[in-house]
Amino acid sequence: MNSTQNNGFDLGIIVSRSLAYFRHVRLMVATGCIGVLAGMVFYVYTIPLYEARGLVYLRAHGSPVSVADVPETMESRTISRSFIQEFTSKRNLLETAKRMKIVGPNGTWADVLDAVPAVTVSELDSSHIEVAVQARSPEVLHSFISAMVDEFREQQQTSWRQYRDDALQRYADELKALDAKGREGMKQLSALEREGKMAETSLRQTRLNELPKDLIISRELVQKMGEIQKRIDSTPEIGEASADLLPLPKVIEELSLLTTFEKERDVKIGDVVRRPTATGGSPLISAGGPKMSAEVVVQPGMVDPLQPWQKLEKDRRILEGSLLELGKQYLPEHALMKKVNEDLESNERALRAELSFSRQRFQLEHEHYRRKLATLEAQLPDYHNVNERLSLDNQAYSDLEKQNTLWDKAREHLAEKLAVITFAEQRDWLEIAFQGHVSLRDKIPISPNKSKLALLSFFLALGLSIGTATVVNILDASASTLPQLEAVTGLKGVGIVPHTTAELLEDICRSPAIGSKVPNFLLENFRLMRSHILLNPASSSRRNQVVMVTSARASEGKTSIACNLAWAFQSIGGRTLLIDCDLRRGRVHHFTKLPNEIGLTPLLLGKCTLQEAIEKTPLPLLDVIPRGHIIIGTTDLLVQAIFHDLITKLRGEYDHIILDTPPVLGLSETTSLQKVVDGVLMVVRAEKTPRKDVLDAVTLLRKAGAYFYGLVLNDLDLNKTANYYNYYYYSSTYYDDLEAPADEAALPEAS
């Protein structure tokens, strides 16, 4: 047994669960019969079906001139799924049925299904398919497949002709639309070029192309001329002084500065520059007179490698050298000395004149370039606007040209499609032919099949019987076995009470010696409960003296258990008192055959004494306190001190006290009564009481601090196979086998 448990396999559990189905044998037989009956009804009322299988040759030929995006000319030399779908379509089958006059001209698809329920197609190879037809009538099978082929061929030819005509018309309409779009595009190009004045804008852009370059050059010149002007103005000796007042060295210095700027300009032949002029002579050699400035074009003879003032300065150095040499020979008044001095004065005047002219030319050019810079900066927005406008116009023009190119390509492509479709219009693209029947079952129907139907009926009956019983077992929430209750409540089971007659169960005043020689199957169960209670491990404060017998709900047999448990305690020689604490519907007096005039109710109300309330039974060790008459409001006395004092007093007079209490659920006194008892015995009616009710009752008592001796499974029917298998040792058959030895005399019955 241990090895079996270690391996996770318990044969006893499997057998026990299997035997649980025997509780529903009648239900299983009934549902099994329903399954068999369903198969018989199906066989009787099902219309027979006949089947024919035929071979069809199907091959598709592509157009001799095919274009990838022209679906009408796509080449397909193998059987495609679309062919099979069209061949078995509702339309083809309906038209075939009309051709064969299976349905009328106004027949529907439902009418076709009534005559031909199923048509299936399977592909055999690249050019053959097998068609299976199931029909109600054998005559239909003989020609239905060939009729399908003929009807399919006619529909395909009609459909393809109409499709090609529609395609030609559609492509022709698209071609006209593309032509119109092309003409519209050309008009848009002309309008854009005309309205946008693209030629004028392009010319303006050409003229303004040098604007950024001129602007940069002019800005740099103005900046340099401004720096030179600042330097001249910052020299105190030069400043704003007239050329006639400047010392001659400063004149040479300023001329050198201005000449350096002119060299940096790098004037070339053909440049337009401003230069000073004098009335009546050359500005470079004239000593006076009014000066003017004019723009002139630089010519080859005007580009002089040596500036005039530099030649004058060179001549001056020569004159000064001559004057120095003559001064060594002649006096200052000598004619030669005077001549050289006059030449020096004339040379100095010429240098000062050159400085004046250079100043005027520099100032005029400075002003000229400032104005030119302002003019160029003013033209800069126009330059940007012209470029932006021309770019936008060019982009629009390019887009229109691309669009027209697309229209041209589309027109060429459509023209190619029209040519291909027109060329391939008369081509027969599909070859289909019926090649005969592979199998023909027009005598023996394929449905219903007797052997298959019998097998299906058997499995249906088996599934219904087992499935129904399984569902009932799953939905059964009642307590069937002690292990179920132990698993739900966590309490141990102390015994069961088999289902028996009321005469045996209610005979409380029986002799204590009954079953002493040969065990009695009923009384041994109560003795077993007594042993569990007496041997129950309790603390030193518990004496297992006062036992409360209760149940979750009413009609679970707790009164019969309490009465028989009291008999079991007195049978071992201890004084036992049975108290009926169910003041609403207690029945202890019925079991003990005692009067119910005086009992617990008058005792708690103080209308009688304890000795008057206690009734004696034929058993000398068993006394009973019945409930008495039902009086409204007396149930509250059970939870008051008067009842607690009563139990305390009775503990000193009796060895065992059994309390038959009301059910736990829905009533209040039982939960409170557990305070005056030593332990609780919970009674559960087998296969009647829901496990949830038992759990709720145990939970309530636990919350109140109750101590449990265990559970008793009452009214267990051992005639059921599953119960007998689990508790066969509680049955009468088991005890009947325990006979007394033949050589021993029967003991006398105890009085």
User: Is it the case that residue 750 has pLDDT exceeding 60?
Assistant: no
Per-residue pLDDT tens digits for 554-589 = 888 899 999 999 999 998 888 999 999 988 888 898
Helix 558-570 and helix 523-534, axial crossing angle in degrees, nearest 10: 70
Choose between 133 and 399: higher pLDDT: 133
What confidence tier does 749 reach under pLDDT thresholds 50, 70, 90? very low
Per-residue pLDDT tens digits for 210-252 = 778 778 888 888 888 887 877 777 665 555 556 667 777 777 7
Choose between 555 and 397: higher pLDDT: 555
What confidence tier does 616 reach under pLDDT thresholds 50, 70, 90? very high
Q: 439, 438, 456, 437: which is closest to 46 by C-alpha?
A: 456
Average of pLDDT values for 542-548?
A: 83
At 219 the pLDDT is 82
Q: Convert 99-121 to b/e letters by CB count within 10 Å (16 or more is b).
A: ebebbeeebeeebbeebbeebeb
User: Is it the case that residue 347 has pLDDT exceeding 60?
Assistant: yes
- Residues of the chain with pLDDT > 90, as a percent, come to 13
User: Is it the case that residue 426 has pLDDT exceeding 50?
Assistant: no
What confidence tier does 281 reach under pLDDT thresholds 50, 70, 90? very low
pTM value is 0.46
**What are the φ and ψ backbone dihedral angles of 277, each rounded to 5 degrees?**
-130, 155
Q: 321, 316, 322, 318: which is closest to 344 by C-alpha?
A: 316
E strand or H helix that includes residue 32: helix 25-45
User: Is it the case that residue 680 has pLDDT exceeding 90?
Assistant: yes
What confidence tier does 699 reach under pLDDT thresholds 50, 70, 90? very high
Range with lowest mean pLDDT among 61-75, 81-95, 440-454, 583-597: 61-75
At 269 the pLDDT is 54
E strand or H helix that includes residue 527: helix 523-534
What confidence tier does 488 reach under pLDDT thresholds 50, 70, 90? confident
What residues contact residue 52 under an 8 Å CB cut-off, 6+ apart?
132, 133, 135, 141, 142, 144, 145, 437, 439, 440, 441, 442
At 546 the pLDDT is 93
Amino acid identity, position 302 = M
289 is written with which tokens? 């007179």
Any idea which fold 482-505+519-536+544-736 has? Rossmann fold (3.40.50)
- Give the SS3 label for residue 341: helix
Average of pLDDT values for 159-163?
A: 73
User: Is it the case that residue 623 has pLDDT exceeding 90?
Assistant: yes
CB 588 within 8 A of CB 541: no
Q: Where in the chain is the domain with CATH 3.40.50.300?
A: 482-505+519-536+544-736
Mean model confidence pLDDT for the chain: 76
Choose between 481 and 725: higher pLDDT: 481
Render 438-481 in DSSP notation, one character per residue: EEEESSS-SBS-HHHHHHHHHHHHHHHHHHHHHHHHHH--B--S
Token pair 């028989």 is found at 564
Q: Which of 158-167, 317-326, 359-368 has the highest mean pLDDT?
A: 317-326
User: Is it the case that residue 744 has pLDDT exceeding 50?
Assistant: no
**What are the φ and ψ backbone dihedral angles of 719, each rounded to 5 degrees?**
-75, -20
Task: From residue 230, give the alpha-carbon distance in Å to each of 225, 226, 360.
Answer: 9, 6, 16
Average of pLDDT values for 90-112?
A: 90
Around Cβ 251, how many Cβ atoms within 10 Å?
A: 22
Average of pLDDT values for 721-746?
A: 49
User: Is it the case that residue 440 has pLDDT exceeding 70?
Assistant: yes
Helix 335-423 and helix 211-234, axial crossing angle in degrees, nearest 10: 160
Task: From residue 561, give the alpha-carbon distance in Å to each of 339, 672, 711.
Answer: 172, 21, 12
E strand or H helix that includes residue 602: helix 600-605
Around Cβ 303, how many Cβ atoms within 10 Å?
A: 11
What confidence tier does 290 reach under pLDDT thresholds 50, 70, 90? very low
Range with lowest mean pLDDT among 504-518, 660-674, 690-704: 504-518
Q: Given CA atoms 361, 367, 369, 371 in this order, what sign does their dihedral have?
A: negative
What confidence tier does 698 reach under pLDDT thresholds 50, 70, 90? very high
Q: 707, 589, 577, 581: which is closest to 650 by C-alpha?
A: 577
At 287 the pLDDT is 37
At 237 the pLDDT is 55
Average of pLDDT values for 647-666?
A: 92
Average of pLDDT values for 306-314?
A: 78
Per-residue pLDDT tens digits for 109-130 = 998 988 898 999 988 888 888 9
Average of pLDDT values for 403-411?
A: 76
Q: Which of 25-39, 244-258, 387-401, 608-622 has the highest mean pLDDT?
A: 608-622
Amino acid identity, position 13 = I
At 333 the pLDDT is 85
User: Is it the case that residue 167 has pLDDT exceeding 80?
Assistant: no
Q: Which of 4-18, 70-84, 359-373, 570-584 has the highest mean pLDDT?
A: 570-584
At 76 the pLDDT is 46
Q: Given CA atoms 77, 80, 82, 88 in this order, what sign does their dihedral have?
A: positive
Range with lowest mean pLDDT among 194-208, 579-593, 605-619: 194-208
